[in-house]
Amino acid sequence: MHVIQTADASAEDSSVRRTIANIAISALVFEQARMTFGEDNTKPKLVYKASSGMESIIAPSLEAAEHQGATLINWESRDDRNRFVIELASLAEPTPKKGQPNMSVHASVQPRLKLN
């Protein structure tokens, strides 16, 4: 079970207290998910967006969430963002079932009458 929470600390009107509270609530959501779905079946991810100055202020809260098992994704980091999007996209790929051959046929090799 993938559990994804977000915390946005990039807005001008976002306060440090509100951001830390959002991260703390995310940690509670992750804990509840682990209790419900099991420790091994839960993959918590915290996606946050913060300037470098704000990130240094909220770092202890982020580290606490990471210590609780959450993967941290900094949306401001191109590498983190790309890895996260690729990982999410890979969840949509069907897994082949055992004992069944891969029968995918590209539409370009089918006669026109069999496409509809």
pLDDT at 7: 92
Give per-residue pLDDT as tens, 27-72. 999 999 999 999 888 999 999 998 888 888 999 999 999 988 899 9
Are the C-beta atoms of residues 45 and 71 closer than 8 Å to each other? Answer: yes
Tell me the angle at which helices 16-37 and 52-67 cross, rounded to the nearest 10 degrees.
Answer: 20
Lowest mean pLDDT among 9-18, 46-55, 61-70, 93-102: 93-102
d(CA 101, CA 99): 7
Sheet strands (E) in 28-93: 43-49, 71-74
pLDDT higher at 12 or 48? 48
pLDDT at 90: 86
Q: Residue 105: is its pLDDT beyond 60?
A: no
First vs last Cα of the chain: how many Å apart? Answer: 36
Q: Residue 107: is its pLDDT beyond 60?
A: no
Mean pLDDT over all residues of the chain?
Answer: 84
pLDDT at 110: 57
